[in-house]
Protein backbone atom coordinates (compact mmCIF):
# COMPACT_ATOMS: atom_id res chain seq x y z
CA UNK A 1 0.00 0.00 0.00
CA UNK A 2 1.21 3.52 -0.66
CA UNK A 3 0.41 7.01 0.53
CA UNK A 4 -0.35 10.13 -1.48
CA UNK A 5 1.07 13.63 -1.60
CA UNK A 6 -0.22 16.63 -3.55
CA UNK A 7 2.13 18.76 -5.61
CA UNK A 8 1.71 21.83 -7.76
CA UNK A 9 1.83 20.89 -11.45
CA UNK A 10 3.58 24.12 -12.49
CA UNK A 11 5.25 26.99 -10.67
CA UNK A 12 2.64 29.54 -9.70
CA UNK A 13 -0.26 27.30 -10.70
CA UNK A 14 -3.19 26.33 -8.50
CA UNK A 15 -3.48 23.03 -10.40
CA UNK A 16 -2.29 20.14 -8.26
CA UNK A 17 -1.72 16.45 -8.85
CA UNK A 18 -1.98 13.72 -6.25
CA UNK A 19 1.01 11.37 -6.51
CA UNK A 20 1.31 7.81 -5.19
CA UNK A 21 4.37 7.67 -2.93
CA UNK A 22 6.22 5.85 -0.22
CA UNK A 23 6.79 8.25 2.68
CA UNK A 24 10.45 8.42 3.67
CA UNK A 25 12.17 10.09 6.64
CA UNK A 26 12.88 13.83 6.67
CA UNK A 27 9.86 14.91 4.59
CA UNK A 28 10.96 12.95 1.52
CA UNK A 29 8.88 10.76 -0.77
CA UNK A 30 9.64 8.02 -3.28
CA UNK A 31 7.39 8.10 -6.33
CA UNK A 32 5.60 4.81 -6.95
CA UNK A 33 3.72 5.65 -10.15
CA UNK A 34 4.77 8.31 -12.67
CA UNK A 35 2.68 11.48 -12.82
CA UNK A 36 0.17 12.28 -15.53
CA UNK A 37 0.69 16.05 -15.35
CA UNK A 38 3.73 17.00 -13.30
CA UNK A 39 6.95 17.43 -15.25
CA UNK A 40 10.34 16.33 -13.96
CA UNK A 41 9.44 13.11 -12.13
CA UNK A 42 9.60 9.38 -12.82
CA UNK A 43 8.79 6.26 -10.84
CA UNK A 44 11.51 5.58 -8.29
CA UNK A 45 12.55 9.22 -7.88
CA UNK A 46 12.98 10.51 -4.34
CA UNK A 47 11.74 14.06 -3.86
CA UNK A 48 10.67 16.67 -1.35
CA UNK A 49 7.82 19.14 -1.69
CA UNK A 50 8.68 22.81 -1.37
CA UNK A 51 6.49 24.10 1.49
CA UNK A 52 5.91 27.48 -0.21
CA UNK A 53 5.34 26.53 -3.87
CA UNK A 54 4.19 22.89 -3.44
CA UNK A 55 6.57 22.03 -6.26
CA UNK A 56 8.45 18.72 -6.13
CA UNK A 57 12.23 18.95 -5.84
CA UNK A 58 14.08 15.81 -6.87
CA UNK A 59 16.60 14.64 -4.28
CA UNK A 60 17.66 11.43 -6.04
CA UNK A 61 16.79 10.01 -9.45
CA UNK A 62 15.46 6.47 -9.70
CA UNK A 63 16.97 5.89 -13.15
CA UNK A 64 13.68 5.86 -15.04
CA UNK A 65 12.18 7.83 -17.88
CA UNK A 66 8.56 8.95 -17.94
CA UNK A 67 7.01 8.96 -21.41
CA UNK A 68 3.66 10.60 -22.10
CA UNK A 69 1.94 9.51 -25.30
CA UNK A 70 -1.10 11.36 -26.64
CA UNK A 71 -2.50 8.86 -29.17
CA UNK A 72 -5.28 11.10 -30.62
CA UNK A 73 -7.79 8.43 -31.59
CA UNK A 74 -5.39 5.49 -31.46
CA UNK A 75 -5.87 4.36 -27.84
CA UNK A 76 -6.01 0.64 -28.61
CA UNK A 77 -2.84 0.92 -30.66
CA UNK A 78 -1.18 2.79 -27.80
CA UNK A 79 -1.99 -0.09 -25.47
CA UNK A 80 -0.32 -2.46 -27.92
CA UNK A 81 2.99 -0.63 -27.36
CA UNK A 82 3.27 -2.39 -24.01
CA UNK A 83 5.06 -5.36 -25.63
CA UNK A 84 7.68 -3.17 -27.32
CA UNK A 85 8.14 -1.17 -24.14
CA UNK A 86 8.45 -4.37 -22.08
CA UNK A 87 11.19 -5.58 -24.44
CA UNK A 88 13.16 -2.50 -23.35
CA UNK A 89 12.51 -3.22 -19.67
CA UNK A 90 9.64 -0.76 -19.33
CA UNK A 91 5.95 -0.82 -18.51
CA UNK A 92 2.74 0.83 -19.56
CA UNK A 93 1.70 2.37 -16.25
CA UNK A 94 -1.77 3.23 -17.46
CA UNK A 95 -3.75 5.96 -19.09
CA UNK A 96 -5.34 9.15 -17.86
CA UNK A 97 -7.88 11.70 -18.97
CA UNK A 98 -10.13 9.15 -20.70
CA UNK A 99 -7.26 7.56 -22.68
CA UNK A 100 -6.02 10.91 -23.98
CA UNK A 101 -2.60 10.26 -22.43
CA UNK A 102 -0.77 6.98 -21.88
CA UNK A 103 2.01 6.90 -19.32
CA UNK A 104 5.06 4.67 -19.67
CA UNK A 105 8.08 4.04 -17.46
CA UNK A 106 11.32 2.88 -19.04
CA UNK A 107 14.76 2.51 -17.51
CA UNK A 108 17.22 5.05 -18.85
CA UNK A 109 19.50 2.08 -19.56
CA UNK A 110 17.14 1.20 -22.42
CA UNK A 111 18.92 4.11 -24.18
CA UNK A 112 17.39 7.21 -25.68
CA UNK A 113 17.73 6.01 -29.31
CA UNK A 114 15.83 2.77 -28.57
CA UNK A 115 13.07 4.56 -26.65
CA UNK A 116 12.76 7.27 -29.28
CA UNK A 117 12.54 4.65 -32.06
CA UNK A 118 9.50 2.98 -30.45
CA UNK A 119 7.55 6.19 -29.96
CA UNK A 120 8.63 7.85 -33.21
CA UNK A 121 7.46 4.76 -35.10
CA UNK A 122 4.07 5.05 -33.37
CA UNK A 123 3.74 8.70 -34.40
CA UNK A 124 4.73 7.84 -37.98
CA UNK A 125 1.87 5.33 -38.05
CA UNK A 126 -0.52 7.72 -36.25
CA UNK A 127 0.50 11.22 -37.40
CA UNK A 128 -1.94 13.12 -35.18
CA UNK A 129 -0.32 11.56 -32.12
CA UNK A 130 2.53 13.01 -30.12
CA UNK A 131 4.81 11.88 -27.34
CA UNK A 132 7.37 13.42 -25.05
CA UNK A 133 9.63 12.74 -22.13
CA UNK A 134 8.16 13.84 -18.83
CA UNK A 135 11.46 14.07 -16.97
CA UNK A 136 14.24 14.73 -19.47
CA UNK A 137 13.90 18.45 -20.18
CA UNK A 138 13.69 21.56 -18.00
CA UNK A 139 10.43 23.51 -17.85
CA UNK A 140 11.40 25.30 -21.08
CA UNK A 141 10.98 21.97 -22.93
CA UNK A 142 14.37 22.35 -24.61
CA UNK A 143 17.17 22.25 -22.04
CA UNK A 144 18.17 18.67 -21.12
CA UNK A 145 18.28 18.07 -17.37
CA UNK A 146 21.23 15.69 -17.81
CA UNK A 147 20.53 13.65 -14.65
CA UNK A 148 21.23 10.38 -16.53
CA UNK A 149 24.90 11.33 -17.00
CA UNK A 150 25.55 10.82 -13.28
CA UNK A 151 24.13 7.27 -13.30
What secondary structure does DSSP assign to 83-148, as a single string? HHHHHTT-EEEEEETTTTEEEEEEEGGG-HHHHHHHHHHHHHHSTT-EEEESSSB-TTSSSB--GG
Check residue 75 and give its pLDDT.
94
| Residue 78 φ/ψ, nearest 5 degrees | -65, -40
Residue 65: the pLDDT is: 98
Q: What is the pLDDT of residue 27?
A: 94
Q: 30 to each of 39, 101, 122, 144, how far by Cα in Å?
A: 15, 23, 31, 22
Torsion 90-91-96-102 (CA) sign: positive
Q: pLDDT by residue (tens digit) across 7-29? A: 999 887 889 999 999 999 999 99
Other beta carbons within 10 angstroms of residue 27's beta carbon come to 10
Spell out, as residue ranges, where the chain has pLDDT lower than 50.
none
pLDDT at 11: 80
Ordered domains of the chain (ranges, CATH): 3-60 (no CATH), 64-150 (3.30.70.2380)
pLDDT at 10: 83
Q: What are the residues whose beta carbons fall under 8 Å from the beta carbon of 29, sequence distance 6 or more?
A: 3, 5, 19, 21, 22, 23, 46, 47, 48, 49
Q: What are phi and psi of 81, to 5 degrees?
A: -70, -15
**Can you give the pTM of this predicted structure?**
0.94
Distance from chain centroid for Cα 89: 15
Amino acid sequence: MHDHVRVSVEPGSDVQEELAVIVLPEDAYQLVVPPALTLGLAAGDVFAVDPVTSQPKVLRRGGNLTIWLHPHGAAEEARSLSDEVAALGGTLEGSAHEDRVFIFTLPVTATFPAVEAVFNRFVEQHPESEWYFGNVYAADGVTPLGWWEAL
